[in-house]
Amino acid sequence: MLKGKHIVIGVTGGIAVYKAVDVVSRLKKLGADITVIMTKNATEFVSPLTFRSLALNEVVVDMFKPPTTWDVEHIAIAQRADLFLVAPATANIIGKMAHGIADDMLSTVVMATKAPVWVAPAMNTGMYTNPVVQRNMDDLRSLGYQFIDPDSGRLACGDIGAGKFAQPERIVDTIVRAFRDKDLEGKHYLITAGPTQEAIDPVRYITNHASGKMGYALAEEVLSRGGQVTLVSGPVHLDPPRGAELVPVVSSQDMFEAVMARADHADVIIKSAAVADYTPSDYSPVKMKKSDGNLSIGLKRTQDIAKNLGQQIGQQVFVGFAAETHDLIENGKKKIKSKGFDFIVCNDISQAGAGFKSDTNIVTLIDKDEKVVAYEKMLKTDLACVIIDKTKTYMK
């Protein structure tokens, strides 16, 4: 994802430095060329050797170390940067940046760069909420600096509150998004994800194995390209994509109502959720007690969300999913006609690496003209890019 991109990472002195090691590792695995600049205080927490081993580049610490080339080092680093990330950023470096102080290598290079600068603060809650620190951050935002807000929770000092270094995966996702073309600006995607749960009684329900990973990957892809996302999600164990409007639902009826109420405002509708086709005919308000005999539960059809949407769809791009165990192409073609999809994403869940809960998928895309394109196994994050690219070809 980041091949050919040069990222300069400024590391300042705080206990969260050890998490910056993970950030560097993740960015490197995505292909980025990384230069790490450490303040002297940062080296008290983690050795420069650690960052050098991960970034596979020399780590810069000393402003006055004899140069290995005849470049003016701080200018050369600043000019090479495609993006500058300060992580963790202490109150001290934020104050320096806000007031134009350049008294070490990191603050000097930040001053000299013309690359976008992202700042990931990490500090004690009292420091983070201090009006002076907040004012400094506001001043930097007004100048175009962008912040990755810290998490809230238990800090190293034992306090509980805001100021906890953002999770490395969130920082990396933010940086990846920053490099993406914003080709979906002004476009609104309505995406469904996950399973539904159909209650039998207050204890039991009927559901399926859907994890929501595909729908959430689609949402992340749209957001990374500047689009808006409304994500109608059944119960899953995934962190909601930052920036999406999350609409949590439980039952198929909940999802039906949520989708139908929002469909008119979307440019693209993607039905990736595994919605129950049947729900118990009678819900018991009290727990059904077991007995020695068998138990029969009557089932009735749920409302067909895709069919209802297909009947009222206007200019929106409409995409469906089909999880099958046999007759993949035949069933996919039938479904695309009966529901009114522009194209459908079909997968044979009996194949290894193509079923629910997996991070990968093996799919065949069928469009309304019955053109069939099969894809090899790929990560769902990569497949999300394929699907979103295809939605663009249908946009008016």
Predicted local distance difference test score (pLDDT) of residue 70 = 44
Higher pLDDT, 144 or 76: 144
Q: Which candidate, 3, 43, 371, places its Cα nearest to that of 176?
A: 3
* pLDDT tens by residue, 271-322: 999 999 999 999 999 999 988 889 899 999 999 999 999 988 888 999 999 9
pLDDT of 157 over the 80 cut: no
Asked whether the bond before 280 is cis by omega within 30 degrees of 0, the reply is no
* pLDDT tens by residue, 302-313: 999 999 999 888
Pairing of strands 372-374, 363-367: antiparallel
DSSP string covering 224-252, please? HTT-EEEEEE-S-SSPPPTTSEEEE--SH
Residues 190-204: b if buried by 16+ CB within 10 A, e if exposed: bbbbbbbbbebbeee
pLDDT of 168 over the 70 cut: yes
Predicted local distance difference test score (pLDDT) of residue 188 = 97
Q: Where does the pLDDT of residue 67 fall: very low under 50, low under 70, confident under 90, or very high at 90 and above?
A: low
CA distance from start to end of the chain? 29
Residue range(s) in the chain whose domain bears CATH number 3.40.50.10300: 188-394
Predicted local distance difference test score (pLDDT) of residue 144 = 92
Q: What whole-number percentage of the chain has pLDDT above 70?
A: 97
Q: Where does the pLDDT of residue 72 fall: very low under 50, low under 70, confident under 90, or very high at 90 and above?
A: very low
pTM of the model: 0.74
CATH number of 188-394: 3.40.50.10300
Residue range(s) in the chain whose domain bears CATH number 3.40.50.1950: 6-179
Higher pLDDT, 243 or 118: 118
CATH topology of domain 6-179: Rossmann fold (3.40.50)
Residue 76's SS3 state is: helix
* pLDDT tens by residue, 371-381: 999 999 988 98
**Residues recognised as catalytic:** 157
The residue whose two tokens read 């609104």 is: 188
Helix axes 252-262, 305-312, angle to 10 degrees: 20
pLDDT of 69 over the 70 cut: no
Across all residues in the chain, what is the average pLDDT? 92
DSSP string covering 4-50, please? T-EEEEEE-SSTTHHHHHHHHHHHHHTT-EEEEEE-TTGGGTS-HHH
Lowest-pLDDT choice from 64-73, 160-169, 217-226, 370-379: 64-73
Predicted local distance difference test score (pLDDT) of residue 39 = 96
Average the pLDDT over 9-19 and give the result.
Answer: 94
* pLDDT tens by residue, 90-149: 999 999 999 999 999 999 999 999 999 999 999 989 999 999 999 999 999 999 999 998
Burial of 139 (0-12, 13-18, 19+ CB in 10 A): middle
3-state SS of 270-310 is: EECCECCCEEECCCCCCCCCCCCCCCCCCEEECCCHHHHHH
* pLDDT tens by residue, 322-347: 988 899 999 999 999 999 999 999 99
Q: Could you tell me how many residues make up the chain?
A: 396
Please state, in angstroms and rounded to a whole number, the distance separating the CA atoms of residues 179 and 295: 56
Which stretch, 164-168, 181-185, 194-198, has highest mean pLDDT? 194-198
Instruction: Dig out the tokens for 117 from the structure.
Output: 């600068």
